[in-house]
């Protein structure tokens, strides 16, 4: 009888541990997806920002006056925008990014 109760408690503890581990895996998975897709609004190093900045400099940028130009990814709820700023912090242009392509926002 004692062995059955002990075994039952071990099973309950094991199930609880498995549930907690499962929840951690799910939570970390969702958070990594969220972080990598633009959670950090001021991250200048993400892929979308780099692609948009490179596109801006190649298509619209002044080669002699591109020093200090940077891009920031802005998560706006339903979509992301990449803003290109000059060295004074003024917005030069806005882009959106979808399926590996950059699109200018008018």
Secondary structure of 22-65 as H, E, C letters: HHHHHHHHHHHHHHHHHHCCCCCCCHHHHHHHHHHHHHCCCHHH
> What is the predicted pLDDT for the residue at 100?
74
104 in the same domain as 60: yes
Residue 73's pLDDT is: 87
| pLDDT for 42 | 42
Helix (H) / strand (E) containing 73:
strand 70-75
Identify the domain containing residue 80 by its residue range: 41-106
Token digits of residue 6: 């002990």
Sole residue written with tokens 């009888």: 1
Same domain, 53 and 74: yes
What's the pLDDT tens digit per position in 39-71? 334 444 458 888 888 888 888 877 666 778 889
Q: Would you state the pLDDT for residue 36?
A: 40
Number of domains in the chain: 2
């Amino acid at each position: 009888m004692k062995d059955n109760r002990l075994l039952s408690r071990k099973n309950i503890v094991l199930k609880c541990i498995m549930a907690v581990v499962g929840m951690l895996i799910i939570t970390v998975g969702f958070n990594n997806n969220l972080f990598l897709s633009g959670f950090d609004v001021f991250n200048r190093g993400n892929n979308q920002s780099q692609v948009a900045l490179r596109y801006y400099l190649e298509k619209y940028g002044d080669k002699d006056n591109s020093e200090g130009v940077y891009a920031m990814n802005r998560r706006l709820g339903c979509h992301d925008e990449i803003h290109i700023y000059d060295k004074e912090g003024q917005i030069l242009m806005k882009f959106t990014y979808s399926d590996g392509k950059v699109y200018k926002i008018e």
